[in-house]
Amino acid sequence: MNLIGMLQQAQKTAPPAPKERKAKVAPVRDSIVQYVRDNPGCTMLGVQKALGLSDRSIASWMHRLHKTGMLERTQYSSTFNGHRPRYQFYYKEVSR
């Protein structure tokens, strides 16, 4: 089999690109940002309970939104008895 034949075979067997997943990202992100905008100083647990997201999902989203600069966070509780620090989140206006 020549190179062109191998490339054509690889294209046929490659899984299709996940298009529907991107459609779900914006509503989750937007609902988190809207909740934090409406409730400044909220905690991750508050957002999680209000939106019905899992522990891992909300932690991942809040970290991602903080890292991209859409949310600011302030620590309101230090590490105590082995517990993680606690944060409050605030919406940060993003200038484009």
pLDDT at 35: 94
Predicted confidence band at 54 (pLDDT cuts at 50, 70, 90)? Answer: very high
Predicted local confidence at residue 52, as pLDDT: 94
Residues constituting the chain: 96
**Residue entry with tokens 């298009």:** 19
Span 36-47, pLDDT tens digits: 999 998 988 999
Please indicate, yes or no, if residue 46 is contained in any of the structural domains: yes
Its domain, for residue 61, covers 25-91
Domain count, the chain: 1
HEC assignment per residue over the chain: CCHHHHHHHHHHHCCCCCCHHHHHHHHHHHHHHHHHHHCCCEEHHHHHHHHCCCHHHHHHHHHHHHHCCCEEEEEEECCCCCCCCEEEEEECCCCC
Exposed / middle / buried, residue 58 (Cβ in 10 Å: 0-12, 13-18, 19+): buried
Instruction: Establish if 1 belongs to a structural domain.
Output: no
pLDDT value for 89 = 84
CATH of the domain at 86: 1.10.10.10
pLDDT-based confidence at residue 25 (cuts at 50, 70, 90): low
At residue 53 the predicted structure's pLDDT band, cuts being 50, 70 and 90, is very high
Its pTM stands at 0.65
Residue 62 lies inside a defined structural domain of this protein = yes
Per the domain annotation, does 53 fall within a domain? Answer: yes
